[in-house]
Amino acid sequence: MGLNGRLVITPLTDRIYLTLTQALSMYLGGAPAGPAGTGKTESTKDLAKALGLLCVVTNCGEGMDYMAVGKIFSGLAQCGAWGCFDEFNRIDASVLSVISSQMQTIRNALMLHCKTFQFEGQEITMDDRMGIFITMNPGYAGRTELPESVKALFRPVVVIVPDLQQICEIMLFSEGFLLAKVLAKKMTVLYKLAREQLSKQSHYDFGLRALKSVLVMAGELKRDSPNLNEVVTGFVACDWFKLFSFSQEMSFFFLW
């Protein structure tokens, strides 16, 4: 997975970690569910990294059939890796019921501590470090409700609102800002206001992902000009953000 950064451990991340590890102890999978950009996929990956395991993320779609998923499961079982199936509820309901019986087979093998087991007509080895996780966006267009047989194999965890201010503060501190507390407050308030007060446009994104890229940019600015006042650096980064995101609202303003 390389030497990429780690996540900020907030109460929400903690809750996801606890649910996922608890699920593993019961030979179940974990299912973080919630809106896009709240950290479901990344938290799963980060937990795998903390445990020293490989985590393979698969983006699911309606084109996926049980053969493709079965192949992935078989690979995970043989090498003891974690599988994170992103947007799992995009898969067709008829395929999901076959997948649930595949998962049941794997779960039985795990519970009986088998060294090898029969899977999809093949005898394969079982590494019991394996894990299966799915993330979901309930309520979006083109998503199916999971059948009960699948639901029973996963422990759900609801991920709705990421702890923006805490993530902001810790990231600013780690970029070298001493005034991180004040700047984090300003940033999160700015984003909150932008999300609430600006018009709804499909190209606007005031989520965690966008916020994070501004923080990284602020860190670069700070390293490029270490003598500049921190508040100024923060404001320059925010101004860039404003120019990018508000361009349309701004042009409207200038027209007036």
What residues line the site for ligand ADP (CB under 6 A)?
7-8, 10, 13, 36-42, 135, 162, 167, 208-209, 212
Instruction: Tell me how far, at minimum, the Cβ of 40 lies from ligand ADP, in Å.
Output: 4
The DSSP result for 111-125, as a single string, is HTT-SEEEETTEEEE
- Between residue 7 and residue 46, which ones bind Mg ion under the rule CB under 5 A? 41
Q: Which does 39 bind (CB under 5 to 8 A by kind): ligand ADP, Mg ion, none?
A: ligand ADP
The residues, ordered by sequence, that sit 6+ positions from 67 with a Cβ below 8 Å of its Cβ are none
CB 49 within 8 A of CB 143: no
Instruction: Please identify the residue of the shown chain whose CB is closest to the bound ligand ADP.
Output: 39
Residue 245 as a binder of Mg ion (CB under 5 A): the answer is no
Closest by Cα among 110, 72, 108, 107 to 91: 72
Q: Which does 38 bind (CB under 5 to 8 A by kind): ligand ADP, Mg ion, none?
A: ligand ADP
Q: Least separation, in Å, of the C-beta of 211 and ligand ADP?
A: 8
The amino acid at 238: C
Specify whether the backbone of 113 is left (phi greater than 0), alpha (psi in -120 to 50) or beta.
left
Which CB atom, from 30 or from 39, has the smaller least distance to ligand ADP?
39
Does 169 interact with Mg ion (rule: CB under 5 A)?
A: no
Comparison of 46 and 238: residue with beta carbon closer to ligand ADP: 46
**Smallest separation (angstroms) from ligand ADP to the CB of 38:** 4
Position of tokens 């019961």? Answer: 26
Token look-up 């970690």 returns: 17
